[in-house]
Amino acid sequence: MISFEPTEDQQLVRDTVASFASNQIRPIARDADESGQIPDSVVQQAWELGLIQSAIPEEHGGYGGDRSAVTSALVCEELGYGDLSIAMHVLAPRLVTYPVLELGSDELRKEVLPDYCGEKFVPGTAAVMEPSMGFDLNDLQATATRSNGSYKLSGAKCYVPLGSEARHAVVYAREGDGTAAFVVKTDSPGFEVAEREKIMGLKGLATYEVMLNDCTVPASARLDGDLKPIFNRSRIALASLAVGVARAAFEYARDYAKDRKAFGVPIAQKQAIAFMLAEMAIEIDSTRLLTWEAAWKLDRGEDATREACLAKNYAAEMVLKVTDNAVQVLGGHGYIRDHMVELWLRNGRGFAMFEGLALA
Amino acid sequence: MIDFELSEDMRGMRDMINQVADQTMRPISRQFDEEEHTDPTEWQQMMWDVSKGASIFGGGPEKSDKKSSKEKKSLGTSKPSERNVGATVTIEELSWGDAGLYLSIPNAGLGGAAVMAAGTPDQKKRFMARFGEGDPKWAAMAITEPGFGSDSAAVATTAVRDGDQWVLNGTKIFCTSGQRALDKSEGFVVVWATVDKAAGRAGIKAFVVEHDTPGVTVTKVEDKLGIRCSDTAAIVLEDARIPLDNVLGDPEVLTASKKGFKGAMATFDATRPAVAASAIGIGRAAVDFVRDELVKAGVEIRYETPVMKQTAIERDFMDMEANLQAARLLTWRAAWMMDRGMQNNLEASMCKSKAGLAVTEVTQKAVEILGPLGYSRKLLLEKWMRDAKINDIFEGTQQINLMIVARRILDYSSSELN
């Protein structure tokens, strides 16, 4: 039966993360963007919320909690509302734990998961994207070749978050006609992390190019099973993060417009501005509902590819438009780095290219 | 728990109505577009017999009785209401069949919705009982006048008290089903008029004008771009006398309070999701059709293909699907809130604004994708495009609904933002 109300547990999680995002993340977001650094203390505080550990079963050291994609969507929106770089940083371990949890062999689960259940934040990552205009999850350039009971991984990867410090990376590569995923220890020979990337947005998040030079991993490192639910889960996480970024920009522009006067009245009382804000609100809600629906379908164990792709693509367009409008509402002030909206526009622009960059 | 699955009852109802739409509406769709101002009498009789006058939206005689729904709630045992979500599902299916025909179904319609929203229990009984019995009937709502549209407070039609009667004078236009309510059945029209021009909104009341009232004349039925089967009437009221207790609401509405106006405006919170649902039905017809044609032509929609590798058709089609679904979810949300007794003024305007625009664009794009076929009257696509556009206009234009959304999100009154 149709309902738009999260469960009480979900509301509790959302409220907790929302308050963390507003009180701990947002105040340092500008600084993180300017300095390219996220303070360890905040990362550790986020870790202590248990977002990573909660989904890991107790037998592997976690809390054995909720693994619902709907819950994740709620969490991602709030983290994205705080700051996208910090959200992706604190969620990065999920890039390892989630695929291992879903598709790893017992052996792999035992080996990897306890690492991410300790008291301190442990970085993990994924090497998904590639520095090519034709980048396509289902048509990767990096290859995995099997020989003598192990796999050789070759190719170039980019946008690998926390690449230099991560303990494990889940590497996605072409195997035959399809895409396969491998859990790689980042100190494996042939896993070569290049310099930190300089990108338009996400400046607080350390991302790296990674070269796979015949990086050899045991056959047991290969995740066994359908990767589609993982990809879809990532699309839902990205779409929810985009909703959070857009909501941040919308609220900022709304408050500014009520405060800023022109011709003797707040500019929000001018239809040109008021209508922009109304459309922003409608599109944010539209995207959130599309994303929830995709997450709900995924939670039911159904193929949510169509819904997840539609939601993610819609979100990518929406967040660009909303953040751009937010800059526009502030006019010249929106272009100045004293205000947050230019940061959200830079971060928002990325969603159309992001794939596999976040999981929750 | 967040859930996007209709209940089993609801799915059963949807499938049944879809059959009705497919088997009885689609076959006569083109005919009643071409033969404007002709009634599909047999079909209307059938729909009347099948529905027994139960309201499609805005509340039928029993179902929407506020008291009984309160009683149900206090018992705490019955399932939560799905009445409004159910209405959006029903309307989507009927409009998927044909929006013009859907609007021609004998029904209490907007007039009934106003009675249910603003009427006293006695008035509800007195005016609504007819919809459960006898011949097909309609009720309509008359707000718009030649001199105003969206600015409802500018009503020029007057109501002057004369003893135990009201005397109404003025001209109403764009009254959906006005002719059917007044001239073709024993129905009524709810007319908005002012009892005190100087009082502004507070002076505006809603009056039930019966079909046989002397001095009430349907002067014109409009020729339209789409929804041609629906009658859109102009009504002239010349010294039309109606009983004193035909003014909707408690006697206190007669004092200079905004209650009557607000009551009538509250009707829109229920009818806007209904219009949005109709829009979505038309949009879905177009999207379903395009999808089938693409399959026939061997064009595959690769959902997973990255944006930079999508073809123009893929991009367009995915946009159509996503916008349609976004509109549907916003609409379900507005209806769900009503079912839960929540204030949904913001959400009702959000869904109406989104659905009207989305479906206007979706159907226009569908015509483009089908090329020469899309433009041909051999197919229904061009008709759907024409039908869809009304949803961007009636029950508050897209822009008026944006204004309402803006007022709500900015916490502005209508005098602060207009």
Would you call A258 and B410 a contact, using CB atoms and an 8 Å cutoff?
yes
CA-based nearest residue in chain B for residue A269: B417
CA-based nearest residue in chain A for residue B332: A2
ipTM associated with this complex: 0.96
Asked if A4 has any chain B CB less than 8 Å from its own CB, the reply is yes
pLDDT, position B202 = 86
Say how many Å lie between the first and final Cα of chain A, rounded.
26
Q: How far apart are CA A245 and CA A237, in angstroms?
A: 12
- Is B275 found in the same domain as B221? no
DSSP single-letter state for residue B395? S
Asked if B321 has any chain A CB less than 8 Å from its own CB, the reply is yes
- Is B235 found in the same domain as B252? yes
Asked if A296 has any chain B CB less than 8 Å from its own CB, the reply is yes
Q: Convert B323-341 to b/e letters by CB count within 10 Å (16 or more is b).
A: bbbbbbbbbbbbbbbbbee
- Partners of B1 on chain A (C-beta within 8 Å) are 3, 5-7
**From B304, B307, B336, residue closest to A2, measured CB to CB:** B336
**From A4, A271, A274, residue closest to B2, measured CB to CB:** A4
Tell me, yes or no, whether B146 lies in a domain.
yes
Contacts of A351 (CB under 8 A, 6+ apart): A238, A241, A242, A312, A315, A316, A319, A320
Asked if B415 has any chain A CB less than 8 Å from its own CB, the reply is no
- Is B334 found in the same domain as B348? yes
Helix and strand numbers, DSSP H then E, in chain A:
11, 9
* Identified catalytic residue from A130, A293, A307, A355: A355
Task: Return the ∠ at Cα B61 (arms to B57 and B63), rounded to 5°.
Answer: 70
Q: How far apart are CA B273 and CA A81, in angstroms?
A: 29
Superfamily of domain A8-117: Acyl-CoA dehydrogenase/oxidase, N-terminal domain (1.10.540.10)
Asked if A130 has any chain B CB less than 8 Å from its own CB, the reply is no
Please identify, among B259, B278, B296, the residue that sits at the C-terminal boundary of a domain.
Answer: B259
- Is B264 found in the same domain as B242? no
Tell me, yes or no, whether B418 lies in a domain.
no
How far CA B193 is from CA of A278, B111, B142, B418, in Å, comes to 31, 14, 9, 22
The dihedrals phi and psi of A128, each to the nearest 5 degrees, come to: -115, -55
pLDDT, position B254 = 63
pLDDT, position B117 = 84
B220-244 residue pLDDT tens: 999 999 999 999 999 999 999 999 9
- Partners of A136 on chain B (C-beta within 8 Å) are 305-306, 309
pLDDT, position B307 = 87
- Is B299 found in the same domain as B173? no
pLDDT, position B152 = 77
Look-up of token digits 């604190």: A90
Q: How far apart are CA B345 and CA B356, in angstroms?
A: 17
Task: Retrieve residue A206's tokens.
Answer: 């350390």
- Partners of A243 on chain B (C-beta within 8 Å) are none
Tell me which residues of chain B have a pLDDT lower than 70. Answer: 52-80, 251-260, 264
**From A231, A281, A287, residue closest to B405, measured CB to CB:** A281
Q: How far apart are CA B402 and CA B412, in angstroms?
A: 13
User: Which CATH number characterizes residue B294's domain?
Assistant: 1.20.140.10
pLDDT, position B241 = 98
User: Which CATH number characterizes residue B58's domain?
Assistant: 1.10.540
Find the domain containing B366 and state its range. 260-410
In this structure, the number of other CB atoms found within 10 A of the CB of residue B222 comes to 16
Total number of domains in chain B = 3
Asked if A1 has any chain B CB less than 8 Å from its own CB, the reply is yes
Would you call A2 and B85 a contact, using CB atoms and an 8 Å cutoff?
yes
pLDDT, position A265 = 97
In angstroms, what separates the C-alpha of A309 from chain B's closest C-alpha? Answer: 6
Query: Which residues are bridge partners to B236 per DSSP?
Result: B171, B217
CATH number 2.40.110.10 is the correct assignment for the domain at A125-221: yes
Distance of CA B223 to the CA centre of its chain: 19
- Is B280 found in the same domain as B253? no
pLDDT, position B56 = 62
pLDDT, position B74 = 37
What are the residue numbers of the active site of B?
395
In angstroms, what separates the C-alpha of A129 from chain B's closest C-alpha? Answer: 12
Which of 1.20.140.10, 1.20.1600.10, 3.90.550.10, 3.40.605.10 would CATH assign to domain A228-352? 1.20.140.10
Q: Where are chain A's structural domains?
A: 8-117, 125-221, 228-352
Tell me which residues of chain A have a pLDDT lower than 70. Answer: none
Is A355 an active-site residue? yes
Would you call A70 and B2 a contact, using CB atoms and an 8 Å cutoff?
yes
Q: Percent of chain A at pLDDT above 70?
A: 100
Question: Shortest CA distance to A191 belongs to which of A205, A174, A208, A179?
Answer: A208
Interface size, chain A vs chain B, as Cβ–Cβ contacts under 8 Å: 135
pLDDT, position B72 = 38
Q: How far apart are CA B282 and CA B188, in angstroms?
A: 28
**From B1, B332, B406, residue closest to A278, measured CB to CB:** B406
A315-344 residue pLDDT tens: 999 999 999 999 999 999 999 999 999 999
